[in-house]
Structures are given as C-alpha cells and as structure tokens.
Amino acid sequence: MSCRRSYDFTALSCIGGTVVRGFRERREKLIEQERTIVVVISPTHPLARWSRIGFVVTAWLYALAVAAQVFLAGVSVFDDPTRWPDHVSFGQMIGSLTVLLLVFAVIGRLPWLLIGLAFAVFMLYGMQYPFALSDNGSMAALHAVNALVMFWLTITVAQRAQPLAFGAARA
C-alpha cells in the first residue's frame, strides 16, 4: 500500500514514508500514558493540608495588610503628605499575597467557591492600580471602595476556609 500524506488519523498514518496501521490505538494509548503523568494531590495529602493552613494564614495576613494600607493612607491625608510613598510601596508589596492565596487554594484542593473568591481578591487587587491612577475623581474614589471590598472578601474567605484547614470539613 502506498503512503498517502493525510492528517486523518482514523485509519492509517504515514511515518517516515511507510504506512502504519492502527495509529489511532497507539495514539489513544499514548494519550492515556500522558494522563498518568499528571500528579493529583488528594485532599488528605500533607501538602494539601499545609496548603490549606497556608491559605488561611495568608488570607488573615492580607486582611491585616489591607487595614495597614488604610492606616497609611489616613496618615498621608491627615498628618504627613510625605508618607504617600509608604502607602504606594506597601501596596505593591502585599500584591504577592494575592498570588499566594491562589496557589494555596489550588494546591490545597479547596472548593471551587473558595478558589473563585481567591481569584476575585486577586482581580480586585489588580483593579487598585487603574482606580488610583485615574484622572477622573469619581473613578479614583473607587480605589478606597475597592479596598473595603477586598478587606471584606478576604475576611470572608479566611473564615470559610478556616474549618477546612483546622477542623471540620465544611465550607
């Protein structure tokens, strides 16, 4: 049988100019072998448990950091305007906590709701920059409102994840 160049893998395939029969079966077997390479962490695995603890600790740290940010903004407005760089640099530092929240949520095999809420915290943090740098006063005011939403959401996430990390498995 001659080798026909075709991208239809249903019956025959050309490899090096020769016809290879049964390529579909080999391809499915290779795909199945690839699937076995994926590492799946069970919820009872120690790494998952420590990630859940890390998630809760990181969430509470982030809530405290947002409160500290509000304090630094208040000091800059009401006491010493030269303290704005402290507010800005601290705000840039705490962004890594939102990434850690996402990583811990996925590795800790938390429920999809908590992973989604951790992603929401990450996105809200990302929205702080367009709000703060906006030339429109109403849009810039959303910077403070967004901080309140982040604070509330982070505390909610921490409270919902705490039983999963330290005790009863309820979200």
pTM recorded for the entire structure: 0.73
The beta-carbon contacts of 117-124 under 8 Å, at least 24 apart in sequence, are 117/153, 117/156, 117/157, 117/160, 118/55, 118/157, 120/153, 121/62, 121/150, 121/153, 121/154, 121/157, 122/98, 124/149, 124/150, 124/153
Render pLDDT for 71-126 as a digit per residue (tens, 0 to 9): 999 999 999 999 999 999 999 999 999 999 999 999 999 999 999 999 999 999 99
Span of 7-11, 42-46, 61-65, 103-107 with lowest mean pLDDT: 7-11
How many structural domains comprise the chain? 2
104 shares a domain with 121: yes
Whether residue 18 lies inside any domain: the answer is yes
Does residue 171 lie within any of the structural domains? no
Specify if 60 maps to a domain. yes
Domain coverage including residue 114: 46-166
In CATH, what number is assigned to the domain containing residue 149?
A: 1.20.120
Instruction: Check whether residue 14 and residue 75 sit in a common domain.
Output: no
Same domain, residue pair 106 and 131: yes
- 95 neighbors 69 (Cβ within 8 angstroms): no
Confidence of residue 25 (pLDDT cuts 50, 70, 90): low
> If we measure between CA atoms, which residue out of 113, 128, 108 comes closest to residue 58?
108
Beta-ladder partners of 12: 21
C-alpha atoms less than 13 angstroms from C-alpha of 34 in its C-beta half-sphere = 6
In this structure, are 124 and 57 located in the same domain? yes
Under the banding of pLDDT at 50, 70 and 90, the label for residue 45 is confident
Instruction: Give yes or no: residues 29 and 92 share one domain.
Output: no
**Which pLDDT does position 5 carry in this prediction?**
46
pLDDT at 132: 93
